[in-house]
Every structure is written in structure tokens, then in C-alpha cells.
Chain A
């Protein structure tokens, strides 16, 4: 097995999530695929390049499809946006560790998402929905720039109806003429509504690093410990398999030691905003 050679995947469908985020449903053409929530794939548009993208669908569906939710930010993602159902992309992976779904059994779960970081959290949320009895109380906090920038709007009602749980939404600003009945302000402002028990819970966060920085600060002051706070980190990756070096944060490889780390694991490492 050559870990650098992508498998071929067909785009089955595309959902416009926001003005700059699309969800692509991919079918791997040459056999099985399995992953755990929080893992990522390296997606190739051959001739343009390759990018690391979190899987946003649930592992139970992996035999049929995987989904990736992509924000248009560069050459590869920009080229993905021009593709249509039926077009082919390259996929390597899955890579990385994943959310602590086993450790979370029987515990309360606080899920904090910011912007397109919600893509990496969706498999975890879907896991809660499909295996509700595994977890205690589950609270989902999700913030975006504006109401239009919220992903998975078509699922929010389902997320919000989780028994023993809640979905709290917030946006940085509401453009004139847009209807919005939820909160306005940064996602950490929602922390005052959090009711999970810091003594018996895990927190899973994915979003811009500056948002995670403030989220960690807030959580620590609320009594959560560094080893209860799980963060999905993002760095440029060229290989995904711990060789190319690019994704290092000090002594850690985001691609193989992560992408999910506890704050405890990362707090002493250099070259981060956290």
C-alpha cells in the first residue's frame, strides 16, 4: 500500500451550506472505507493539489458514502467548488485520531463549534443522535459570522430536539433584513447557559484557533480541566501520514498525534494561538 497514492472517489451530490461552504457526498469507488468521528481525509483535485479536510458524515454510512464540508479558501477547495456530481476526486485516508467517543461514554458532552469547524463536529453530533444512550447530557454551542454562514441548517431542528440536550446558536452579526431569533455575539458568550457538570463531562471544540483560545480560557475558569477539553487543530499538511513535517506544533504532529488534542497535551507547545 502506497500511502501517497489517492483512491478514486465519485462526487454523488453537493449541498450548498453557506455562500462559501459546500458539502460533498463522495463514494469511494474501489472498496471499503471506515473511520471514526473527527478523522480527516486528504482530498486531491489532481493537477491542482491536495488538502486535508475533516469528514463530516457518520461512520455508520462509510460503506455507502462519506461527506466532506469544504470552505472555499484556496486552490484545491476553489477547484472542488467547480466540480459537479459525477466528477471524480482523489481521497487518501482516513488519517488522525478522532473525538474521544469511547471516553465520553456515560459522560456529559459539551460541543463547541465555530465557523466551518462545525464540519469536524458533525460526525460526533450524529453519533449522539444515533447512540443517544451512550452519552449523558449533550449541549451543542455553535457560532458563525452571520446567520447565512451557519452550516447544516436543515439539521438544526433535529440537533435541538436531542433529549437531555440543547442547541445554542450565535452569530457575530445579523445583516439588515435577516431574521434571527437566537444569540448575537461570540460563541463563548453562550457559556453562561451551559449546564453540563464540569466534574463529569468532556468538551469537544473545533473552530478558528483564536476562538478555541477564548473558549479554553472560559472553560478553565468554569472549572473544566485541561485534560477534559478536546480541540481539533488545523495546520497545513502535505502528507497526512507524519512524514512531511508541515503540521508540527512543537513536538506534536497534527496529522498523526491529532488532529484532536486535549488542551493539556498542547498547552506547553510553541507556535500556536491557544
Chain B
């Protein structure tokens, strides 16, 4: 029996689904194990549930989305938040720090028809079994979830900081050696330290690691010269709505 999978999208850029499509040579192998019953980006043949596994991309930002995500939960045995937007609200959630009207006016020429709510990750409304962090999550992490759901075990998605992976690659330390504002020490790993690998600071896209020392991280960023406002934006950028960052992000 193949795993019946549905892929759904809410407020997001679709980049997480693109990461899934990018799988290329592994796709035939995956298709031996799973059957995509619903994946609008990949096929116009859309079948209703029940699903063994629902991958939900995107943040919840309208009243309609709330009802839809609840309906998906009803139909799905295992529900996975695919990517930051679904995990915490992600980049779209930065508009929570301005008035709704202001955000709508910036984006839409005629905001009158827009009905939106505060932006949340999907677990504000439904129970989430596993979280695929990242903007986007690395394919390896997504495949780990497929395998784990098939085997009936918890996926191995480690929550330790990016520094661990960064050291495995023996990158120069951007924070200590270059005094650059790298979010590695508080950010969950899984990305494979791809930004530090090319000499760029970790932007924190996997959101908080298991037990970030936020107060100390703020001090470190101050030490290297970041202003309070810059620090605020560092924490808000990808995961300001995460429970661990809400305080420092001044929600």
C-alpha cells in the first residue's frame, strides 16, 4: 500500500513545494512508496482525502484559510507543517508588526476587498505532527519525514544549532572571526549550514533551535554593533511568531 499524500498551500511563495519538485532522480523511488493524491502544483488531477500524510505549506492569514486547514487536518492521519510559513508564519508574519491597513495599502492598489487576519503558523489552528523548518526546508529533511511516516517512527529532525553543521564543514566563524551578525548559535540546524558554507551569515531561516539563549544572543549582536532595531529585525525575519522568539521580537 502506497502512502496517500496531499500537498497543500496557504500564504507562501511556493518555494517549499519547489524544493519537493526539485527532487529529480529520487522522485521515481519516492513514487514507489507514495502516491500524490492532491498536489495542485504538480498535477491537475486532485483527489479528495483521506490522506496518510498532508504536507501543508504556507501561513494562515485569512478566515477562509482557517477553515480549510481544519478540514485538511480532519482528512489527514499525519499532518506536517512544510516550511517556515506553515511552522510559525514565516516571512509573511512580519506584517504582524504593522497595522493591517498599512500592510494592505503597501501591497494592494485597492485594499478594500482584502480580508485578512493576523498571520500565524498552522498550529495556531490545528494539531501539527511534525515541523519541517526552513525557508525552504532542505529536501533531505522532507524525505526524512516521508521515510519516517512510512516506517511509523518519529523523523530525525535535529534541533541543535547551525553552528554544529557549520563546524562539520570547518567554515571560518563569521560571528567570532569576522564579527558579522550570524544567527547560527540560536538557529535550528538541518540546512547543512548552506549560507556560512558560502561565506554568508546564517539569517535564521530554520527558526529557533531547541533552547536558544536569546538574551545572550542579543548581547552578542549588540557587541558587534547592531542597533536594537536591527536586532529586532533579525529575530522577526523568519520566526518572530515562534513561541520562543515572540518576546524578543516584541509581539
Identify the A interface with B (CB < 8 A): 47-48, 74-75, 78-79, 82
A sample of 5 more A-B contacts (CB under 8 A), given A48-B153, A78-B153, A82-B152, is A48-B151, A74-B154, A75-B153, A75-B154, A79-B151
Chain B residues positioned under 8 Å from A74 (CB to CB): 154
Q: What is the bound-complex CA distance between A47 and B153, given in angstroms?
A: 11
Alpha-carbon distance A9/B152, docked complex (angstroms): 22
Q: How far is the CA of A71 from the CA of B151 in the complex (A)?
A: 19
A-B contact pairs, 12 of them (CB 8 A): A47-B151, A48-B151, A48-B153, A74-B154, A75-B153, A75-B154, A78-B152, A78-B153, A79-B151, A79-B152, A79-B153, A82-B152
Closest to A81 in B: B152
The docked-state distance in angstroms from the alpha carbon of A78 to that of B153 is: 8
Chain A to chain B: the 4 pairs with minimum beta-carbon distance, closest first: A75-B153, A48-B153, A75-B154, A79-B153
User: In the docked arrangement, what's the CA distance between A75 and B156, Å?
Assistant: 10
Nearest chain-A residue to B148 (Cβ)? A75
Residues of A within 8 Å of B153, CB to CB, are 48, 75, 78-79
> B158 → chain A, closest Cβ, in Å?
14
CA–CA, A82 and B154, complex, Å? 15
Tell me what chain B mostly uses at the interface: helix, strand, loop, or mixed.
loop
Q: Which residues of B contact A (CB under 8 A)?
A: 151-154
Q: Bound complex: CA of A74 vs CA of B151, how far in Å?
A: 13
Q: Which residues of B contact A78 (CB under 8 A)?
A: 152-153
Task: Report A-chain residues with C-beta under 8 Å of the C-beta of B154.
Answer: 74-75
Residues on A with beta carbons closer than 8 Å to the beta carbon of B151: 47-48, 79
Residue of A nearest to B147 (CB): A47
State A74–B152 Cα separation when bound (angstroms). Answer: 11
- How many Å lie between the Cα of A78 and that of B152 in the bound state? 8
CB distance from B236 to the nearest CB of A (A): 35
Task: Tell me the complex Cα distance, A151–B153, Å.
Answer: 25
- Alpha-carbon gap, A75 to B152, bound state (A): 8
Closest to B151 in A: A48
Chain B residues whose CB sits within 8 angstroms of the CB of A47 once the complex forms: 151
User: Distance (Å) between the CB of A79 and the closest chain B CB?
Assistant: 6
Among A47, A48, A74, the most chain B Cβ lie within 10 Å of the Cβ of A48
Shortest CB-to-CB span from A142 to chain B, Å, is: 31
Q: In whole Å, how far is B210's beta carbon from the nearest beta carbon of chain A?
A: 15
From B151, B152, B153, B154, residue with most partner A Cβ within 10 Å: B153
Report chain A residues within 8 Å CB of B152: 78-79, 82
User: CA separation between A79 and B150, bound complex, in Å?
Assistant: 12
- Taking the closest CB of chain B, its distance from the CB of A130, in whole angstroms, is 38
Q: Tell me the minimal C-beta distance from B155 to chain A in angstroms.
A: 9
Bound complex: CA A47 to CA B151 (Å): 9
The complex places the Cα of A75 from the Cα of B151 at a distance, in Å, of: 9
Nearest Cβ distance between residue A51 and chain B, in whole angstroms?
12
Residues of B within 8 A of A75 (CB): 153-154
What's the nearest-Cβ distance from chain A to residue B13, in Å? Answer: 33
Max count, chain B CB within 10 A of own CB: residue among A75, A78, A79: A75
Instruction: Give CA–CA (A47, B147) in the complex, Å.
Output: 10
Closest beta carbon of chain A to B156's beta carbon, Å: 8
Nearest B-chain residue to A75, judged by Cβ? B153
Q: Cα distance A48–B151 when bound, in Å?
A: 8
A48 to B153, CA, bound (A): 8
- Give, as a whole number of angstroms, the nearest-CB distance from A99 to chain B: 33
Q: Which residue of A lies closest to B155 (CB)?
A: A75
Considering the complex, give the chain B residue whose CB is closest to the CB of A79.
B153
A79 partner residues in chain B, CB cutoff 8 A: 151-153
Shortest CB–CB separation between residue B146 and chain A, in angstroms?
14
Closest-by-CB residue of B relative to A76 is: B153
Residue of B nearest to A48 (CB): B153
In the bound assembly, the distance between CA atoms of A82 and B152 in angstroms comes to: 10
A48 vs B148: C-alpha distance when bound (angstroms): 9
Q: How far is the CA of A82 from the CA of B150 in the complex (A)?
A: 13
The complex places the Cα of A74 from the Cα of B154 at a distance, in Å, of 8
Q: CA of A83 to CA of B208 in the docked complex: distance in angstroms?
A: 37
**Taking the nearest CB of chain B, how far is it from the CB of A254, in angstroms?**
22
> A21–B249 Cα gap in the complex (Å)?
45
CB distance from B21 to the nearest CB of A (A): 26
Q: Closest B residue to A82 by CB, please name it.
A: B152
